[in-house]
């Protein structure tokens, strides 16, 4: 294992690609009547242009708060420290602590975020065309005719049938799947460098979910947008993501290419997540009658242990793990883990012999 927590330079001899997002020591804490809640703790990671990165972890592991902090959308009682730099056309923008005016210029144009329920972001009283054109007027100063044309193009792009008619409809006239497509179209209108999708398909039924995921997958070939796909479901990332970041207790447990997450997981928590992910039969039914769940409880974010937050649930934990927090370290170019345990051999967890 290399003794560094930096991503090794994989671009020697190639054109150097700068990350679109560089996050350093990002920490999010909430003030509550019961004391501070450490929701995100010293996160370090980079997102590259055109990459689709899955962010997975149990509910409450800090996935949403990490990216809400980056978007400047934390609740009133939350505070972010550290650094999150958005790089747009060679220019760095520090997002942590950025004033609202500047943030608003970047949000919706250079970076955008979509949520599980599109109705939280769509205005129920305005027609789809009005909402889409407003984005283009605000961020790109477009006139009405040009904006309408672009809005139509983007509804076509996200494969909304009869897009022209849809433009004149109100959000409630569309199905949940169609509304989510409209949200994706709206979030892409200004061709952002970074799109954060927080559980975008959780509320949709399985067939529509697959269509929306395929859409996100296809869109990255049309734009060079980096997509962050937040989900509690490892199955969702399999077909869509290039890389995966696994979170536990507000920290990164493992970062790897998607194949390595499934075939060669190195953090005991990732292995636990995979064991509790159902294998699907061709007809969509699950192979496991009873899913194994990871024993024990998620950590108390108001009273995190001195050592590794996963240690109380980990079969491999030693005294060392209880005393010291393992930092995220790259042991090869693309694979990092925050764990003191020796490496595990190639896994047959998910795709092993039946």
Ligand X SMILES: Nc1ncnc2c1ncn2[C@@H]1O[C@H](COP(=O)(O)OP(=O)(O)O)[C@@H](O)[C@H]1O
The site string for Mg ion over 64-93 (x = CB under 5 A, - otherwise) reads x-----------------------------
In the bound state, the residue with its beta carbon closest to Mg ion is 64
User: Does 155 help bind ligand X (rule: CB under 6 A)?
Assistant: no
Beta bridge partners of 252: 247
Contact string (CB under 6 A) for ligand X, positions 252-271, x = contact = --------------------
CB of 232 to ligand X, least distance (A): 7
Q: Does 27 bind ligand X (CB under 6 A)?
A: no
Strands in the chain per DSSP E: 21-30, 37-47, 52-56, 78-88, 91-94, 111-114, 194-198, 226-231, 243-248, 251-257, 329-332, 335-337
* Angstrom distances, CA of residue 238 to CA of 23, 54, 241, 269, 339: 24, 9, 6, 17, 23
Interaction between residue 61 and Mg ion (CB under 5 A): no
63 binds ligand X (CB under 6 A): yes
Pick 64 or 225: Cβ nearer Mg ion: 64
Give, as ranges, the residues between 287 and 306 that touch ligand X (CB under 6 A).
301
Tell whether residue 3 is a contact of ligand X (CB under 6 A).
Answer: no
Pairing assessment for the beta strands 194-198 and 329-332 based on DSSP bridges: unpaired
Count, residues near Mg ion per rule CB under 5 A: 1
Q: Please identify which residue in 54, 57, 72, 118 interacts with ligand X, judged by CB under 6 A.
A: 57
The entry of ligand X, Mg ion, none near residue 57 (CB within 5 to 8 angstroms by kind) is: ligand X
User: Based on the number of CB atoms within 10 Å of its own CB, is 281 exposed (0-12), middle (13-18) or buried (19 or more)?
Assistant: exposed
Coil/strand/helix, residue 216: helix
**Site for ligand X contains 311 (CB under 6 A):** no
Q: How far is the CB of 45 from ligand X (least distance, A)?
A: 15
- Report the distance separating Cα 254 and Cα 237, nearest Å: 15
Segment interacting with ligand X, rule: CB under 6 A, options 5-13, 63-71, 116-124, 280-288: 63-71
6 or 300: whose CB is closer to ligand X? 300
| 32 binding ligand X? (CB under 6 A) | yes
Q: Judged by CB under 6 A, does residue 56 bind ligand X?
A: no
* C-beta of 37 vs 328, nearer to ligand X: 37
Residue 326 and residue 302: Cα distance in Å, rounded? Answer: 19
Residue selected from 78, 176, 278, 312 as contacting ligand X according to rule CB under 6 A: 78
Candidates 27, 17, 190, 26; CA nearest to 111 is: 190
Binding range to Mg ion, per CB under 5 A, among 56-64, 73-81, 178-186, 324-332: 56-64
Tokens of 280: 């699907």
Stretch touching Mg ion by CB under 5 A, among 61-69, 98-106, 114-122, 146-154: 61-69
Interhelix angle 144-157/128-140, rounded to 10 degrees, is: 120
Is 129 a residue that touches Mg ion (CB under 5 A)?
Answer: no
Contact 180, 127 (CB under 8 A): no
Partners of 37 in the beta sheet? 30
Nearer CB in complex with ligand X: 171/272: 272
CA distances in angstroms from 53 to 178, 239, 261, 277, listed in the order given: 24, 12, 12, 19
């Amino acid at each position: 294992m290399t003794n560094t927590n930096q991503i090794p330079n994989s671009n020697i001899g190639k054109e150097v690609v700068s990350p679109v997002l560089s996050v350093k020591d990002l920490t999010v804490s909430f003030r509550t009547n019961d004391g501070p809640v450490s929701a995100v703790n010293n996160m370090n990671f980079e997102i590259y242009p055109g990459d689709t990165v899955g962010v997975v972890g149990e509910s409450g592991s800090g996935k949403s708060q990490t990216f809400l902090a980056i978007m400047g959308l934390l609740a009133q009682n939350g505070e972010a420290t550290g650094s999150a730099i958005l790089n747009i056309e060679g220019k760095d923008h520090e997002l942590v602590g950025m004033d609202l005016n500047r943030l608003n210029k970047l949000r919706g144009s250079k970076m955008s975020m979509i949520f599980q329920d599109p109705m939280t972001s769509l205005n129920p009283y305005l027609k789809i065309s009005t909402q889409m054109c407003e984005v283009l007027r605000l961020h790109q100063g477009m006139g009405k005719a040009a904006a309408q044309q672009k809005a139509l193009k983007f509804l076509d792009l996200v494969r909304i049938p009869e897009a022209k008619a849809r433009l004149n409809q109100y959000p409630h006239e569309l199905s949940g799947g169609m509304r989510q497509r409209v949200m994706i179209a709206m979030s892409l209108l200004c061709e952002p460098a970074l799109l954060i999708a927080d559980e975008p398909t959780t509320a949709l039924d399985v067939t529509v979910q697959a269509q929306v995921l395929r859409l996100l997958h296809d869109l990255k070939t049309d734009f060079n947008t980096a997509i962050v796909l937040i989900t509690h479901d490892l199955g969702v990332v399999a077909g869509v993501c290039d890389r995966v970041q696994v979170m536990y207790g507000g920290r990164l447990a493992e970062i790897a290419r998607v194949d390595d997450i499934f075939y060669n997981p190195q953090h005991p928590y990732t292995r636990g997540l995979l064991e509790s992910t159902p294998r699907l039969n061709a007809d969509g039914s699950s192979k496991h009658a009873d899913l194994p769940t990871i024993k024990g409880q998620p950590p108390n974010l108001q009273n995190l242990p001195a050592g590794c937050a996963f240690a109380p649930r980990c079969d491999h934990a030693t005294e060392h793990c209880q005393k010291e927090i393992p930092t995220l370290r790259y042991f090869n170019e693309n694979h990092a883990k925050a764990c003191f345990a020796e490496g595990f051999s190639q896994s047959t967890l998910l795709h092993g012999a039946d």
